[in-house]
Amino acid sequence: MLATRDKKTIVIAFIIFMFSQTLIFASIPRDSDPSKLSIVIRQGTGLGEIGDVLKKEGLIYSKTLFMAGSLVYGGRLIAGEYELRRDMSTIEILMKMGQGKRKIYALKIIEGHNIYTIADTIDRSGIMTRQEFLDLATDKTYLQRIGVPSDSLEGYLFADTYFYSKEIDRETFIERIARRTLRLFDDNNIKEKMASGGMDIHKTLTLASMIEKESRASEEKPLVSAVFHNRVRKGMSFDCDPTVIYGTKGFGAPIRKIDLVTPTPYNTYASKGYPKGPICSPGKISIMAALNPAPVDYLYFVSKNDGTHVFSRDMAEHNRYVNMYQRIRTTQ
C-alpha cells in the first residue's frame, strides 16, 4: 500500500498536471479569424454566464476550461465592455477581463454649452437618454446629495473630456463632472475672492456663464466682468442678451424686441440683479474673470462683429459705437 504522504504527493502532482494542461489548452486560440467583436459583461454576472456568452460567440472551446482558467485571477473578472478578437486564446481573454482592460469612451463637454446641448451630447453617447439626463439634472434630492447649491446642474458641469466605460454608474459619472466644478472653489484664494466681493459659488458661476457667452476672447473677459460688476455697483441692470435668449429658449434665433420685455427669471433687461442661475458651462478663464474684474470704469460694450468688443464709459459713447458697428454689419 502507498503511504499517506505518497498519496498526497500523487494527488498534488495530478492537480498540477491537470492545471498545466488546462493552461496549455487555454493558450490555444479557437479561431484564426482576427475580426473583432464587443462583449459586455454586466455587474453581478457570474463566471458561468460569462463562459456561456463567450462559448456562444465561438470565442472559447469550453465553459469549464474558461472557469478553470479564471482561477488565475481568483475567479474574479471585471465588468465592462471588452473588444475581443476571434483569434484570441482563452488565456488572453481572461487576462483582458481580469485586468479590466475595457473599451473606453470619451464625452466632451464644451465651454459655453448649456444643459440642453449637453443633454444632446450625452444622449448620443448612450450613457442615458436626453430626457433621463434633464430629469437627473433637476432632481433636487440628487443635487443636494452631490453638493450642488442650485435647483439645476446648469453651469456646474465642468468643460473637459471625460472617459468612461459602458458599465459606468450614470449618476456617479455625472456627479464626477459636477465635482470638478465644485473642487475649484476649495481653493483658499478663490474663497477669499468670493468673500471679499460678496459672491458665492452660485453667483460666481452665474456671472462666469454670462461672461462666457458674451465674449470668446480670453483677454477681454476681465473687461466684460468689470462692466457687469460696475453696473451692479451703480444699481443698473445687466442688459445681457444671452440671458434673455436663455430665458425664452430662443437658442440660435436672433433676439427680438419683445424678448427684452418678456418677463423670465433670466431677463436681465426687465429686472435688475443677477438672473436665476448660470446659462451655460463656463470655462475656468471665465470663472476667474468673474472674480477678478479689470480695474476699469466701463459700463457698456458692443460687438465689433469679429468676436471682440469695444467698451464705453457712458451711453453717448456707447450709442456712437453701436451705430458704427451696426452700419458696418449691414454693409458686409
Domains present along the chain, CATH in parentheses? 26-98 (3.30.1490.480), 105-184 (no CATH), 189-298 (no CATH)
Q: How far apart are CA 277 and CA 252, in angstroms?
A: 20
DSSP state at residue 317: H
Instruction: Give whole-number Cα distances, 40 to 102, 154, 170, 239, in Å.
Output: 9, 32, 16, 51
3-state secondary structure (DSSP) of residue 309:
strand
The residue with cell 427680438 is: 256
pLDDT for position 28 = 62
Q: What angle do CA 80, 82, 85 make, to 5 degrees?
A: 165
Instruction: Give the start-end residues of each E strand in 72-164.
Output: 80-85, 105-108, 161-164
Q: Which residues contact 331 (CB under 8 A, 6 or more apart)?
A: none
Q: Count of CB atoms within 10 A of residue 324's CB?
A: 13
pLDDT for position 1 = 46
Q: Count of CB atoms within 10 A of residue 318's CB?
A: 18
pLDDT for position 111 = 98
pLDDT for position 320 = 94
DSSP state at residue 13: H
With 0-12 / 13-18 / 19 or more C-beta atoms within 10 angstroms meaning exposed / middle / buried, residue 8 is exposed
Are 143 and 269 a contacting pair, CB within 8 Å?
no
pLDDT for position 178 = 98
Gyration radius from the chain CA atoms: 30
Query: Where do the H-state alpha helices sit in 162-220?
Result: 170-184, 188-196, 201-214
Q: Amino acid identity of 100?
A: G
**Chain Cα centroid distance, residue 122:** 9
Q: One digit per residue, pLDDT tens: the chain, 332 residues? A: 445 555 565 555 545 545 555 555 556 666 667 888 998 888 888 889 999 999 999 888 888 888 877 776 666 788 888 999 998 888 888 889 888 888 899 999 999 999 999 999 999 999 999 999 999 999 999 999 999 999 999 999 999 999 998 888 899 999 999 999 999 999 999 999 999 999 999 999 999 999 999 999 999 999 999 999 999 999 999 999 999 999 998 887 788 889 999 999 999 999 999 999 999 999 999 999 999 999 999 999 999 988 899 999 999 999 999 998 876 555 44
Are 236 and 272 a contacting pair, CB within 8 Å?
yes
Q: Amino acid identity of 98?
A: G
Q: How far apart are CA 164 and CA 162, in angstroms?
A: 7
